[in-house]
Every structure is written in structure tokens, then in C-alpha cells.
């Protein structure tokens, strides 16, 4: 997939996908026009990690953690 397709899949902007590539969060191969061919599996793994992190955070939010009086 290309950067545009990866951005659409992840529901993020194209510049964000480029930052993910630069940080190594997803992998891809640079091509001649300044774009990337992005590894599909790395995008799917990144999306799964983010979904799991969001679920863990939501599961950790209980009424027990509210400050007194709220």
C-alpha cells in the first residue's frame, strides 16, 4: 500500500504516516518520487497495537479512580 492508503486505513493524515515511517513504528520502502511503499503487515500490526492500548486504557478507567466528590 502507499502512504495515502495507509493513512486512510489508520484514520490519520498522510504526514502522520510519514512520521510513523520515520520513527520505525511501521515499515516501508522509499521510492523515487519521495513516496513510500508501506508494508501492509506493519500497518495492520500498528493498528492492532493501538486498538489494544486503547482497550486497556478504557478498561482501566473505573469509578474507583474518580476523585472523591465527583
Q: What is the pLDDT along the chain (70 residues), one digit of tens a residue?
A: 999 999 999 999 999 999 999 999 999 999 988 889 999 999 999 999 999 999 998 888 877 766 665 5
Assess if residue 44 is contained within a domain: yes
Residue 49 corresponds to which cell in the numbers above?
Answer: 497495537
How many domains is the chain partitioned into structurally?
A: 1
For 62, phi and psi rounded to 5 degrees? -120, 165
For 25, phi and psi rounded to 5 degrees? -70, -30
Q: What number of helices (H) and strands (E) belong to the chain?
A: 3, 2
CATH number at residue 8: 1.10.1660
pTM greater than 0.95 (yes/no): no
C-alpha neighbours within 13 Å on the C-beta side of residue 55: 6
Assess if residue 13 is contained within a domain: yes
Domain that holds residue 53: 3-60
Amino acid at each position: 500500500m502507499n502512504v495515502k492508503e495507509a493513512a486512510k486505513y489508520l484514520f490519520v493524515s498522510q504526514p502522520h504516516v510519514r512520521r510513523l515511517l520515520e520513527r520505525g513504528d511501521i515499515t516501508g520502502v522509499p521510492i523515487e518520487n519521495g513516496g513510500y511503499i508501506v508494508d501492509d503487515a506493519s500497518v495492520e500490526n500498528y493498528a492492532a497495537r493501538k486498538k489494544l492500548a486503547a482497550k486497556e486504557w478504557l478498561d482501566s478507567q473505573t469509578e474507583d479512580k474518580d476523585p472523591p466528590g465527583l
